[in-house]
Amino acid sequence: MATSAVILQLNGKELTITHPDKLYWPDEGLTKIRMIEYYRDMAPIILPYLRDRPVTLRLFPRGINNVSFYRRDLPDNAPDWLRYCDYRLQRLRLHEQTRRWENGSRQRRSSRK
């Protein structure tokens, strides 16, 4: 029987993992919960390299062998303690800076068309 959800306690935070038995890699028989356990086990090694870097998720809602999409926005159900920044704001600021250069004395041209 499939488990509908698992609650994990990590560093004082409670995480609800829905559909933990979902098969992510059918050929290898690896499930969602196994992937999360791997991330948990590797966190001490990986996290120092990810600190203060933006993360984009690639989602495969119907499995690894089907259509995927990238999630750059913070989902509405994200926990309050998750750090994030608005990447559109960062892009807008870069574009505004480029426009200021175009209108300024140095006449820097934007690579954007």
- The reply to whether 73 and 27 lie within a common domain is yes
pLDDT of residue 95: 53
Which has more pLDDT, 33 or 103? Answer: 33
Query: In the predicted model, is pLDDT for residue 20 greater than 60?
Result: yes
pLDDT of residue 107: 42
Query: In the predicted model, is pLDDT for residue 112 greater than 60?
Result: no
- The reply to whether 30 and 76 lie within a common domain is yes
Percentage of the chain with pLDDT > 90?
26
pLDDT of residue 28: 92
Q: What is the pLDDT of residues 63-77, one digit of tens each?
A: 888 899 988 778 888
- The reply to whether 16 and 69 lie within a common domain is yes
Q: H-helix or E-strand containing 23?
A: strand 23-25
Question: Which range marks the domain in which residue 65 is found?
Answer: 5-82
- The reply to whether 24 and 54 lie within a common domain is yes
Structural domains counted in the chain: 2
- The reply to whether 77 and 99 lie within a common domain is no
- Name the burial class of residue 72, with classes exposed (0-12), middle (13-18) and buried (19+) by CB atoms within 10 angstroms of its CB: exposed
